[in-house]
Amino acid sequence: MCGICGIINRDGQPVEKGVLQRLSSVLRHRGPDDEGYHYEPGVGLGFRRLSIIDLSGGRQPMTNEDQTVWVVFNGEIYNFKELRLLLQTYGHVFRTASDTEVIVHGFEQWGEDVVHHLNGMFAFAAWDSRSRRLLLARDRLGIKPLFYSLIDGSLAFASEIKSLLLWPQLDPAINDRGVFEYFSQHFVPGSETFYSHIHKLQPAEMLRLADGDVRLRKYWHPQVIPNAKQSVADAVDELRQRLLAAVKMQLVADVPLGVFLSGGLDSSAVTAAMGQAGVQEIRSFNIGFDVKRYDETDFALQVSQHLGTRHESFRLNEWPTSILPKLLWHLDEPMADATIIPTYILSLMTRRHVTVALSGEGGDELFAGYTHYQGMKLNRLLQFFPVSWRRLGVAWLKHLPYGGSARTGYFLDRLARIVSSSFFPLFEGYTRKVAFFSPEEQQLLFSPAFQEKMAHFPYLSAVRRIPQDHPELDAVSQANLTDLLIYLPEDMLVKVDRMSMAGSLEVRVPILDHTLVEFALSLPFSFKMKGLETKYILRRALQPWLPASILQRRKRGFNPPLEFWLQKGLVEYAREQEMMATVAACGYFNPDYIQLLIDAHVSGRRNYARQLWSILVFALWWRRIRGKGECPV
């Protein structure tokens, strides 16, 4: 895993070495082992290395035999040995054992089509000196990040936004639409970011710069084409073999390697596959919490004992408020996913033992593991009851006495929200579950001036595009595809990349091998969810590997006890960080409404943890991180 950056001046003006070195140095956490640069007229490429494969070689920027092609690359190419043999048959001469070199020679051989030959997680820049052509490319699922900016005839790119903020030509103006999107779904989807002049290369997207012209295109499109002829039994066998093959392929490394093992189905599947692939000593790691219903440590230990792993368990017993500003700097933008905290601490602790860790991201999206799919099916049943009955039920739940117990109050509030979502068509109900603020709540949250400015922006436009593009799917399948194409790359993979890289740990996600993803998309949805049973086919496939107690357990999720953290410590922490003064000064909000949310949550009557966390994260970022490339904390 590494950090890359570069500047291309289309007028040929030399790139200032000091500027490029600043862009690179701020990415040191992504690559503490080495750095490298390449300069030629109008071009500068920078690189920070975390050594994983070919420790003595593999330095970047890497070039071909006649130094006409230069590459900087972040990620891993898992099929590099096969590609190396293939490219040698075409006459290419390799000087290293690095996976980076297959991109160099592959770009020579196939041009932009090199991406179709790569199996891995990657973000790279390839520069052809002869044609003065640049190619930026990102892997199919968006595992590795890449950002770029086009200003006054120059293009700059980097693995993280903070690097681009140090480019002197960049105006760090805030993108108001990014603010609006964030308070809809807790991240900014698509190509936009919180900064007007910084853009995100999207999953499976390439940027081509040639002859002064910039073009973007997608090179891979996930196809949802269920194979009706395949039996469940055959699909179970094929899934097991594909999972094993993906994990085995991703075990290649010249450094110590381990696995995140939470005790959930996905991480247990990856760990079991490591054993099936022949790993003699599996190093596994998890983090637990002091609130028992959030703590999965017992399950992790159970799986570890069953598979014979050497397990390390860490604990998070309180809200570590002091590290939050630093984590937001690593994220570059507000993202209201509180699991950044345990993910970061787990990564730091794991890095003391290994340099690479496998993880189970992608299982919920590929095999329908989220509980909101069950909720959507239950909503179908609720819709048989008259609306008047359901409205009465919601009102009753909201006014039931809760005895001052936050646990009871939050539970009743959750039930009321579930019933409330049944008032809408199924997919619309799904958007109400995943959104942080509904349109009605945004009317209360935002200031009149900001509401007027955002009036022409559609709410959840990226999410609503999925059912428009896939009308042939039922609502639950549309929600599942939305989670795969939007929630996974914009939240889950961002969190894992930034928090693991903050600790200089490489995390690999074998369930997101693109051939396994394509296979999963060919399965009928009934194979993934049978009745209310989620991950039906995955549970069947894992029966030879895991005990029934793990296969049959309810999904708990990797979540900290956020609502209780906020109930106990929000008021004091918000005062310390000047949250209310910040939200009042920035002009986006109605502070009185935010105060009402705080009062209701702290009293234990309503669970506004997600909403308040999103506001707190934004206020911290706005006051302490916004526009700053170098870490201010």
Question: Measured between alpha carbons, how far is 500 from 497 in angstroms, rounded to an integer?
Answer: 5
Which amino acids are annotated as binding site, given as ranges? 99, 287, 359-360
Kindly give the pairing relationship between strand 283-289 and strand 257-260.
Answer: parallel
Report whether 100 contacts 106 (CB < 8 A): no
Query: pLDDT tens across 333-369, in order?
Result: 999 999 999 999 999 999 999 999 999 999 999 999 9
The two tokens of residue 617 are 């994260």
The CATH classification number of 232-368+488-551 equals 3.40.50.620
**Mind telling me the catalytic residues?**
2
Mapping DSSP onto H, E and C, the string for 415-444 reads HHHHHHHCCCCHHHHHHHHHCCCCHHHHHH
pLDDT at 318 over 80: no
Which whole number is the average pLDDT over 387-416?
78
- The residue type at 444: L
Q: What is the pLDDT of residue 558?
A: 72
Residue 315 phi/psi, 5-degree rounding, is -130, 145
How confident is the prediction for the chain on average, in pLDDT? 92
- Max mean pLDDT among 155-159, 209-213, 252-256 falls in 155-159
Reported as a single tens digit per residue, the pLDDT across 438-467 is: 999 999 999 999 999 999 999 999 999 999
Packing angle, helices 591-602 and 579-586, rounded to 10: 150
pLDDT at 315 over 70: yes
Going by pLDDT thresholds of 50, 70 and 90, the confidence category of residue 302 is very high
* Nearest residue to 142 (alpha-carbon basis) of 75, 82, 79: 75
Q: In what order do the strands lie in the sheet with 310-316?
A: 310-316, 283-289, 257-260, 356-358, 506-508
For helices 406-421 and 562-576, angle between their N-to-C axes, nearest 10 degrees:
110
The average pLDDT across 27-56 equals 86
Binding-site residues for L-glutamine, in ranges, read: 99
Q: Is the pLDDT of residue 57 over 90?
A: no
Domain ranges of the chain: 2-206, 232-368+488-551, 561-633
Name the band, by pLDDT with cuts 50, 70 and 90, for residue 419. confident
H runs (alpha helix) in 250-282: 265-276
Mean pLDDT value of segment 499-526: 96
Q: Are 348 and 316 in contact (CB under 8 A)?
A: no
Arithmetic mean of pLDDT, 240-267: 94
Please write the tens of the pLDDT for every residue from 157-201: 999 999 999 999 999 999 999 999 999 989 999 999 999 999 999
pLDDT for 412 equals: 76
Task: Name the residue with higher pLDDT: 375 or 249.
Answer: 249
The one-letter amino acid code at 423 reads F
3-state secondary structure of 31: coil
141-150, 187-196, 572-581: which has the minimum mean pLDDT?
572-581
- Is residue 220 over pLDDT 90? yes
Could you tell me if 286 and 262 are in contact, meaning their C-beta atoms sit under 8 angstroms apart? Answer: yes
Q: What was the pLDDT predicted at 51?
A: 66
Residue 1: what pLDDT? 63
> Would you list which residues are annotated within the binding site for ATP?
287, 359-360
Poorest-confidence range of 158-172, 290-304, 399-413, 548-562? 399-413
What is the model's pLDDT at position 401?
Answer: 72
Residue 37 identity: Y
Q: How confident is the model at residue 130 (pLDDT cuts 50, 70, 90)?
A: very high
What are the b/e assignments for 453-478, b being 16+ CB within 10 Å? bbeeeebbebbebbbeeeeebebbbb
Tokens representing residue 204 in the block: 């499976």
Comparison of pLDDT for 433 and 588, the residue scoring more: 588
Q: Which residue is associated with the tokens 């999103």?
A: 614
**Separation between Cα atoms, residue 536 and residue 525, nearest integer Å:** 10
pLDDT value at 604 more than 90: no
389 against 582, higher pLDDT: 582
**Tokens 């196809």 label which residue?**
223
Count the helix, strand and coil residues of the chain and give each as a percent rounded to the nearest 5: 50, 15, 35
- The bridge status of strand 356-358 relative to strand 133-138 is unpaired
**Which pair of structure tokens corresponds to residue 230?**
């395949």
Query: Which of 173, 175, 162, 179 minimizes the C-alpha distance to 583?
Result: 179
Tell me the average pLDDT across 496-525. Answer: 96
Q: What is the homologous superfamily of the domain 2-206 according to CATH?
A: Aminohydrolase, N-terminal nucleophile (Ntn) domain (3.60.20.10)
Of residues 192 and 405, the one with the higher pLDDT is: 192
Instruction: Specify the residue for token string 């309503």.
Output: 606
- In terms of DSSP bridges, do strands 62-63 and 69-77 run parallel, antiparallel, or are they unpaired? antiparallel
